[in-house]
Structure 1
Amino acid sequence: MNRGVITAVARPVASVGVMLLVYYRLPMDQPEDGYTVLRLVCGLLLVVAVLWWQVRLIQRSARPFWQGVQALALAVSLFLLVFAQACFLLERHDPGSFSSALSRTDALYFVVTVFATVGFGDIVPVSPLARVVVTVQMLSNLLFFGVALKVVLMAVRRTG
């Protein structure tokens, strides 16, 4: 197998692994300070910045297709982790916001089922604020996936 392909696969796997480690180790025990929504907005701005940075890397890459794969893996993972953190914090600071208490793993599972539009129904938003957050995620899913995919594909085509 080509060394460049191995690197192109290993790098996003390692990046996602590091992001998961940070998600699980990040202290989220602080008392509610009213900044949860600000954290969500800052996290989404970080996703946009990472996507912009990745497009720049695609444009400079000798292997734009594989750089595009890496870009999508990184951006989608970060996007999901931002919403998982928001759901986890919401349930932690307002117990009963979801149909069951959410651990970090439960929050990540829930966010992925919403992103994948599977919606098993085992965890559902109950409080009005939780429903607003999940609605924002659903709309952001459509916008993010469409825009991210288009931007990355355009960068790959232009470079390749």
Structure 2
Amino acid sequence: MDRKRRSGRRTVVLTTVRCVLVAAALVAAYYLLPLDSAFTATSVLVLLGGLVAVALLMGWQVRGIVSSERPRLRAMAALATALPLFLLLFATTDYLLDRSAPGSFSEAMSRTDALYFTMTVFSTVGFGDISPRSEPARLLVTGQITANLLLLGVAARVLVNAVEEGRRAQGGAE
């Protein structure tokens, strides 16, 4: 029994380290990739493609959760991977919009400001210092709010269902 417990702890630690490394790599890419292009229709398509990629990633993860020996851990890892990608997609889009159409937001944004603004919208704490001013910025933020609600509601429910199905398949274990 002690060996099984140590193996379980090791799995939790390795999964946590993997999730932290994935999140760190995504944030590093956000800050290091050259984002010199203007906000164009291509930017919108890339954002939409990224959102589709997040949805596909979640779908792939759901399949893994159902067949996992540790469905709860796998679900947390899925969320820890998809959430940073989702948020960084919007931060990048906000940043590009601000660079190509100054005045879209209440103040000029650095990459950190764009990430901060994205987190403000995602966490629903409201707008304080940065707010959307132009119609394209307001449309973008409205789309993000809608996607946030979908991610929080639908994706969370799908992950919970996958965990429950995975536990049922194991006879209620974990």
TM-score normalised according to structure 2 size:
0.87
Alignment correspondent of 1:158: 165
> Gaps (5+ residues) in structure 1?
none
How many Å separate the matches in 2 of 1:35 and 1:94?
A: 15
Q: What amino acid is the match of 2:11?
A: G
Map 1:91-130 → 2, pairs under 5 A:
91-130=98-137
How many Å separate the matches in 1 of 2:39 and 2:81?
A: 29
Alignment correspondent of 1:22: 29
How many Å separate the matches in 1 of 2:94 and 2:40?
A: 16
How many Å separate the matches in 1 of 2:67 and 2:32?
A: 33
Offset at residue 32 of structure 1 (A): 4.8
Map 1:36-55 → 2, pairs under 5 A:
36-55=43-62
Q: What amino acid is the match of 2:153?
A: G
Offset at residue 30 of structure 1 (A): 2.3
Q: Does 1:139 align with 2:143?
A: no
Deviations, residues 78-135 of structure 1 (Å, cap 9, x unaligned): 1111111110110011111101111111111100111000124110001110000001
SS of aligned partner of 2:107: coil
How many Å separate the matches in 1 of 2:39 and 2:123?
A: 30
Q: Does 1:62 align with 2:78?
A: no
Q: What amino acid is the match of 2:142?
A: T
Alignment correspondent of 1:85: 92
2:38–2:99: 8 Å Cα contact kept in structure 1?
no
The answer to which of 83-92 and 34-43 deviates more is: 34-43
The answer to which of 78-87 and 22-31 deviates more is: 22-31
What RMSD over aligned residues (CA atoms) do the two structures have, in Å?
Answer: 1.3
When residues 132 and 31 of structure 1 are mapped into structure 2, their CA distance, relative to the original with a 3 A threshold, is closer
Q: What amino acid is the match of 1:142?
A: L
Equivalenced residue count is: 160
2:37–2:96: 8 Å Cα contact kept in structure 1?
no
Which of 1 and 2 has greater Rg? 2
When residues 114 and 31 of structure 1 are mapped into structure 2, their CA distance, relative to the original with a 3 A threshold, is closer
> Gaps (5+ residues) in structure 2?
1-5, 168-174
Offset at residue 33 of structure 1 (A): 4.8
When residues 3 and 125 of structure 1 are mapped into structure 2, their CA distance, relative to the original with a 3 A threshold, is same
TM-score normalised according to structure 1 size:
0.94
How many Å separate the matches in 2 of 1:136 and 1:28?
A: 21
